[in-house]
Amino acid sequence: MNSNTLSNAKTKEYEFGGPIGAFFIILFSHSLVYYLWISLTYFSGSLPLPQSLNETLPFLGQLLSYVLQGAAPTAHAAAIYLGFVFFQYLLARFVPGLQVKGLPVPSENNRQLSYLCNGIGSWYITLIAAAILNYTGIFPLTALADHMGSLITVGIIFANLLTLGLYFGSIVSKKMHTPSGNPIYDLFMGTVLNPRLGKVDIKLFAEIRIPWILLFFLTLSAAAKQYEIYGAVSGPMILMIVAHGLYTNACMKGEECIPTTWDIFHEKFGWMLIFWNFVGVPFVYCFQSFYILKNNPQFSTPALIALFALLLFAYYVWDTANSQKNRFRMQLRGTFVKRNTFPQLPWGTLKNPKFIKTAQGDPILVDGWYRYGRKIHYAADTLMALCWGLSCGFSSFLPYLYPLFFVSMIVHRYHRDTKRCEKKYGKDWDTYCKTVPYKFIPYVY
């Protein structure tokens, strides 16, 4: 079967509830981003609800008026958002970095695509540029907080236009990758696998450069705004800066591990990935930072120390678990390169790790953190998300929406992955599940 036949073969299995599920996820995701922004802007992060069922329609009308008045796109917001995206693209294209080969792509005649992984250099350049712009007053950090509503709308417009452009582009070029034939579902899941602009892989760029760097700077903007108002940055806000800074830095310093992951190798680049990378992650995940800005919650010193300790412990497990897994794969392929990017944590690389040989040929790691849980990095990620919520106290439910959303997302992702692995590995997957009986939490679940 040639690559064109394989690429255009229609998929027969629906995920996420098929076209109807995809439509409602799209509708819900747009509504959620605006709802959380409205909560922060007009209700100090509390849960906006109608007073009674009879008030539902007027209440929805009021929410819409908030969006139309406070989140209308502006030329200034467009310049900020599009300027950031373009700057990150230039860095991804021209900053020197490590060249990494991806997995053989069946639809490309098993060709291994090349990826320029210069995330850590681009990250530091961005930090320096932001510091200079803020210090000189050319672009103060507080500008993101001041224009967040308009930035959200610009991001939404950009994400939706990019989705449509890639979808219709794949139709015109006759290079649709496993389409379903349903336009709503194909827009949602995508019909392109490895779109490129020049030498930059757009999917890798979108997953690494845009969401996490923008998230960090939104949190930094909230902190700058808090300092402007109160003359100090609070302990909970510092925790969020550390949390988002560590997470972003980890993505940048380990970028060379990403090209062989499930997202890059298998997931098509459609609305789901585009919207959540360009809009959802930065503007939803920053909720706790702006909640702290609006409410300035106070913690005792012991409580704050405990929260920092939990965050750092969870980060250590998450960082080293991901490193163990990805470096194990790279060692087997002979592509592992020892890096000196900060921080290189103890136990991040396994020596002579145990693994299960499979008839399919791909080994399954059962050592390091992965002898305790199949998805232990998800459990650590959940703990970090919980720390974000705890930093806001207990006065509102909404700071805990992200941890709950994250749990539901990783459970769904786990089942998708398990279904794929059962089909791929057969009896070897049963052996693996017996060897590592726990899914997320060692000796619990």
pLDDT band at 340 (very low <50, low <70, confident <90, very high): confident
Q: What percent of the chain has pLDDT over 90?
A: 81
Query: Which residues are CB-contacts of 76 (< 8 A; sequence separation ≥ 6)?
Result: 147, 150
Q: What does 301-333 look like in DSSP terms, one character per residue? A: HHHHHHHHHHHHHHHHHHHHHHHHHHHHHHHHH
Three-state DSSP at 42 gives: helix
* Rounded-to-integer distance, Cα 389 and Cα 202, Å: 31
pLDDT at 11: 54
* Rounded-to-integer distance, Cα 143 and Cα 221, Å: 7
- Please compute the mean of the pLDDT values over residues 60-79 and round it to a whole number: 97
* Least confidently predicted of 324-338, 349-363, 380-394: 324-338
- Please compute the mean of the pLDDT values over residues 189-203 and round it to a whole number: 94
The pair of three-digit structure tokens given for residue 78, joined into one six-digit string: 């467009």
* Rounded-to-integer distance, Cα 380 and Cα 268, Å: 27
* Rounded-to-integer distance, Cα 221 and Cα 147, Å: 11
Residue 6 in this model has a pLDDT that exceeds 50: no
Q: Phi/psi class of residue 296: alpha, beta or left (left: φ > 0; alpha: ψ in -120 to 50)?
A: left
Is the separation of the CB atoms in 299 and 154 below 8 Å? no
Half-sphere exposure of residue 113: CA atoms within 13 angstroms, side-chain side: 23
> What residue ranges do the domains of the chain occupy?
1-231+267-284, 299-445
pLDDT band at 102 (very low <50, low <70, confident <90, very high): confident
Tens of pLDDT, residue by residue over 273-298, are: 999 999 999 999 999 999 999 999 99
- Residue 292 Cα distances to 235, 356, 391, angstroms: 10, 46, 8
Tens of pLDDT, residue by residue over 139-194, are: 999 999 999 999 999 999 999 999 999 999 999 998 898 899 999 999 999 999 99
